[in-house]
Structure 1
Amino acid sequence: MTALGVGEERGEEEFRAFAAASGGRLLRTATLFTAEDPRDCPLARRLLVEALARTYARWGRIDGEDPYDLARVELTRGYLRRIRFRRGVREGWRGRGGGVPPGPGGDLGPLVQLRPLVRMVLVLRLHEGIDAERAGVLLGITAGRVDALTTRATRGFAAGAGPRCEAAARRALAAVRLPAVPVGMPERAVAEGRRVRGRVWVVRVLGVVGVLLGVGVLVAVALGEGGWG
């Protein structure tokens, strides 16, 4: 392992402190996304580490941005990738809850029955407090669609419709048990973040090489057509 520079070492310490302070909140959001039992949520924990690793990979380039917001974006994108590519678009967007049915002390109620996309809308809007427009950008849908899905989803938490259902949904989300953050999670995120940085560096180098090769081919073609005379 190479020695870290003073600035990089300080940045790593700051990231570890951020990960330790924000890991629990992010893990709760991940658990609500996946609808897993908070006592046993392997997918949510994996999503957390991946999100923090990608945040760490950008840590030195954060300029006035909220690191929690960046980590939440990565968390959302990570779950979307699983829905779309690992489970398939049709199953991921139309299938029912993707988590383990919770038991006593981890009751997620109607959340388990929601489709993954609807569940994400509900969590981002009511648990994380993101406005409809921003949630739509994150999920790749319109703000109007976000509002419609939120209204539909909240009806499962109370009778009727409107503010009463929304308030009941907020209470249900807030009441979900806080999952235990795995020991050593910040260190694991740093290790994976370094690998992410390495992959990004390799991609950039290959991109530069590809451009140079392309320029060389164009020059060779031009010289061949024009000749030397």
Structure 2
Amino acid sequence: MVQSFHEFVVHRSPGLSRTAYLLTGDHQLAEDLLQVALARTYRHWRRVADGDPEAYVRRVMYHQQVSWWRRRRLVERLEAQPPERSAGDGTEASALRLSLAAALRQLTPRQRVVIVLRFYEDLTEARVAEVLGCSVGTVKRHGHDALRRLRQIAPDLVDDTAERSAR
């Protein structure tokens, strides 16, 4: 049992770590989130190992992130002028990653997890619904709302070619 869990952690931690980062938007919080999820998964490993342990870990991370979010309930501050954008580290890819991370942090936790699972983990809507324990329609609604919100928050992230092909 311990060996199979160890192998799972070694092989899947990088991908799960990316998912945790996209859910939290912070490296330290992502590490904590993944650690909590893996600890909870280990307690149920005998039951989980035969199914889809990765989906189980994702579900634990999602629920834990929502729990943390509910506890801290930060009040959003609206300002007349948006803050100046930082130049990043000078590369276009880094600026894009920073912009995307900032935009993702402005989504609701449910919208964020749908975007992460659909577009970063490349799961189908049905699979996302299964992981989150909701209907496919709910996944579609949250995905649609999240994409609309991302287009408002960060129009610079929208790919021109994707927009043209959608017309």
Q: Please give the TM-score of this superposition, normalised by the length of structure 2.
A: 0.68
Runs of 4+ in 1 over 6 A off after TM superposition: none
- Size of the aligned set, in residue pairs, is 142
1:115 aligns with 2:101: no
How far residue 108 of structure 1 moved from its aligned partner, in angstroms, is 2.8
* One-letter identity of the residue aligned with 1:82: W
How far residue 76 of structure 1 moved from its aligned partner, in angstroms, is 1.1
* One-letter identity of the residue aligned with 2:60: E
> Quick one: distance in 2 between partners of 1:111 and 1:139?
25
> Quick one: distance in 1 between partners of 2:129 and 2:28?
27
2:37 to 43, 47, 51: 51
> Quick one: distance in 2 between partners of 1:34 and 1:53?
18
How far residue 133 of structure 1 moved from its aligned partner, in angstroms, is 4.8
How far residue 127 of structure 1 moved from its aligned partner, in angstroms, is 0.7
2:16, 2:58 within 8 Å by CA — same for their partners in 1? yes
Q: Please give the TM-score of this superposition, normalised by the length of structure 1.
A: 0.52
1:32 aligns with 2:22: yes
1:51, 1:74 within 8 Å by CA — same for their partners in 2? yes
> Quick one: distance in 1 between partners of 2:34 and 2:13?
8
Q: Where do 5+ consecutive residues of structure 2 fail to align?
A: 79-85
Q: Which residue is 1:146 aligned to?
A: 142
Q: Deviations over 1:25-60 (max 9, x none)?
A: 111111111112xxxx11100000011111111111
> Quick one: distance in 1 between partners of 2:129 and 2:148?
16
Percentage identity across aligned positions?
Answer: 29
- Structure number with greater CO (CA < 8 Å, separation at least 6) is 1
How far residue 145 of structure 1 moved from its aligned partner, in angstroms, is 1.8
1:87 aligns with 2:102: no
Q: Where do 5+ consecutive residues of structure 1 fail to align?
A: 1-10, 166-229
* One-letter identity of the residue aligned with 1:51: A
* One-letter identity of the residue aligned with 1:152: R
Larger radius of gyration between Structure 1 and Structure 2 = 1
1:111, 1:119 within 8 Å by CA — same for their partners in 2? no
Q: Residues 130 and 42 (structure 1 numbering): CA distance in 2 closer, same or farther, change over 3 Å? A: same
How far residue 140 of structure 1 moved from its aligned partner, in angstroms, is 6.0
